[in-house]
Structure 1
Amino acid sequence: MATPLAFTARYSHSAAAVRAAFADEQYWKDRIAEVGGPNARLESVTVQGDQVRVEVVQAIAAELLPPAVTAVRPGDLIIPRTENWTGNTADFDVRVEGAPATMRGTITLTGDDASATATVEGTIEVKVPLFGAKIESAIQERLTELLQSEEEFTNIWLTQR
């Protein structure tokens, strides 16, 4: 059974400014360097009109993971992540290398000229008998922390421009 993922990022910038950042390769380079985790990297950013496809690889260091996770999957969690934006909506797909764990969902960006909100809705699924729900809960916690860091980074990045 999958665990729901829900997060709302609040930006002190217009929806247009946030969306423009999401289409800016330098934004992604800076973001992955700042909050991507050990050995994180930007794989690609492709922009065609109002469509943006971003592929990154992020990581969660093993020492930040609970024993329930490291017992099933020792070492850092390597997490390839893809976001496909069309206008102000994105689908995301995340997986954990070497583990039967996936996250999927949508991001919806709304707002006006003064502020914006990105609503993340999705599911986390770990197909491990007996321990799947516990691992999903641990991933949900770390993923929420990551999303909070990305929200903070985006606000700072936009303020500096």
Structure 2
Amino acid sequence: MARKFGFTLTYPIPVAELHAALTGEELWRDRFAGAQTATLDLTHPGGPGTVRLAMSEKIRPEKIPGLVRKVLKSDLVVTRVDSWQPLTGDTAEGTFEGTSSAISSEMTGTYRLRPAGDGSELEVSGSVKVKVPLVGGAIEPLAEQLQRRVVESERKFIVKWFAERANA
């Protein structure tokens, strides 16, 4: 049975500007610059204002919770595919899918970007399923926490990225 989750993050960046950055290339190239164990494949299958980001990263062993390390038989590589649709009015919709090697798991969900005051907010809704006998249910909350940490880390990077451009 899959575990459902949801959370919302706020950005001090107007929706149109944030969406343009999320569907552009510069933000993501900067985000992955110097990432030694990560890959990025970025395309615009629906034309301008859309993006498909395929990302993968080998997780360092010290970053893997002990419970997960016990069931791994090889390196843990996490793959995520984010897709964003064009801005419609003042909102944009996106999806994400995630899988991992060395442990059978799948994560799917949606993004909704909308205005919030002078900035915007990103609503994340999804589910995660880990297919490991006996401990899969115990690993699912860890996978959910990982997704939240990744999106929060991206938020911090994006806010800093915008601030650096505003001060340049």
TM-score (norm 1): 0.89
Q: Which moved more, 1:106-115 or 1:124-133?
A: 106-115
Q: What RMSD in Å do the two structures reach over aligned CA positions?
A: 1.9
C-alpha separation between the residues in 2 aligned to 1:147 and 1:111? 18
1:41/1:58 contact within 8 Å kept? yes
Higher mean alpha-carbon deviation, 108-117 vs 7-16, is at 108-117
Counterpart of 1:58 in structure 2 is: 57
Which residue of structure 2 aligns with residue 24 of structure 1? 24
Instruction: Name the CA distance, whole Å, in 2 between partners of 1:74 and 1:9.
Output: 35
Amino acid at match of 1:44: L
Gaps of 5+ in 1: none
Deviation at 1:149, TM superposition (A): 0.8
CA contact (8 A) 2:107 2:128 kept: yes
Q: What CA distance in whole angstroms lies between the structure 1 residues aligned with 2:70 and 2:59?
A: 15
- Deviation larger for 86-95 or 65-74: 65-74
Q: Does 1:152 align with 2:156?
A: yes
Do the aligned residues in 2 keep the contact of 1:52 with 1:85 (CA within 8 Å)? yes
Gaps spanning 5+ residues in structure 2: where? Answer: 87-91
Distance 1:7 1:44 in 2: 25
In structure 1, the partner of 2:42 is: 44
Larger radius of gyration: 2
Distance change (3 Å), C-alpha of 1:132 and 1:102 = same
Give the Cα–Cα distance (whole angstroms) in 2 for the partners of residues 142 and 50 of structure 1. Answer: 28
Secondary structure of the 1:160 match is helix
Deviations 1:34-74 (A, max 9, x none): 7x6x5012122326133211111134322122221111125
Would the aligned equivalents of 2:96 and 2:111 in 1 still touch at CA under 8 Å? yes
How far residue 32 of structure 1 moved from its aligned partner, in angstroms, is 2.6
1:117 is matched with 121
Question: Displacement of 1:75 after TM fit?
Answer: 5.4
Give the letter for the 2:153 counterpart. S
Q: Tell me how far apart the structure 2 counterparts of residues 25 and 49 of structure 1 sit (CA, whole Å).
A: 11
1:140 is displaced (CA, Å) by 1.7
Give how far 1:2 is off. Answer: 1.2
**Equivalent position to 1:108, from 89, 112, 137:** 112
- Give the corresponding residue for 1:7: 7
> Structure 1 residue 95 and structure 2 residue 99: aligned?
yes
User: Match of 2:101, SS?
Assistant: coil
Tell me which moved more, 140-149 or 73-82.
73-82
**2:69 paired residue number:** 70
Change (3 A) 1:74 1:145: farther
Report matched runs for 1:131-142 at 5 Å. Answer: 131-142=135-146
Corresponding pairs, count = 159
Do 2:73 and 2:102's aligned partners in 1 also have CA atoms closer than 8 Å?
A: no
